[in-house]
Amino acid sequence: MQQQEIDLDKLAKQLWAIGDPVRLQILRMLPIEPTCENACNVSAIAARIGLSQPATSHHLRILRQAGVITNEKKCRDMIYWVQLDEACAISEVLKEVLHGSG
């Protein structure tokens, strides 16, 4: 990524999305693969973090729009999981910004 220009607006939106304590809590519980065995749907996530389903859906939408998580209809539910490649890319871009390359 050293030759490419860093999209600071995109990075700022992604950091804002993951910078919320509730959303960090959600990220900690989500799997990194879309399997039925460890599937997380809105109801399960809401119950584990103690929020309403609408509030949980709001946080999930923000994370999804930032590209940090994705979802798919599977196992009779809409399940969510972490987009590990994108999450790691955010970390790498942030390192570049902090090291002044870009």
Residue 17 within any structural domain of the chain: yes
* Average pLDDT for 17-42: 92
Q: Are 57 and 99 in contact (CB under 8 A)?
A: no
* Structural domains in the chain (count): 1
Residue 79 within any structural domain of the chain: yes
Structure confidence at residue 71 (pLDDT): 94
Residue 41 within any structural domain of the chain: yes
Residue 3 within any structural domain of the chain: no
Residue 2 within any structural domain of the chain: no
Residue 102 within any structural domain of the chain: no
- What CATH number should be reported for the domain holding residue 43? 1.10.10.10
pLDDT tens figures, 55-79: 999 999 999 999 999 999 987 889 9
Average pLDDT, the chain: 90
pTM score, whole prediction: 0.86
**H, E, C per residue of 37-100:** CCCECHHHHHHHHCCCHHHHHHHHHHHHHCCCEEEEEECCEEEEEECHHHHHHHHHHHHHHHCC
Residue 37 within any structural domain of the chain: yes
pLDDT band at residue 3 under the 50/70/90 scheme: very low
* Average pLDDT for 47-61: 97
Q: Which domain holds residue 69?
A: 8-97
* Average pLDDT for 26-50: 92
Q: Which amino acid makes up residue 11?
A: L
Does 34 score more than 90 pLDDT?
no
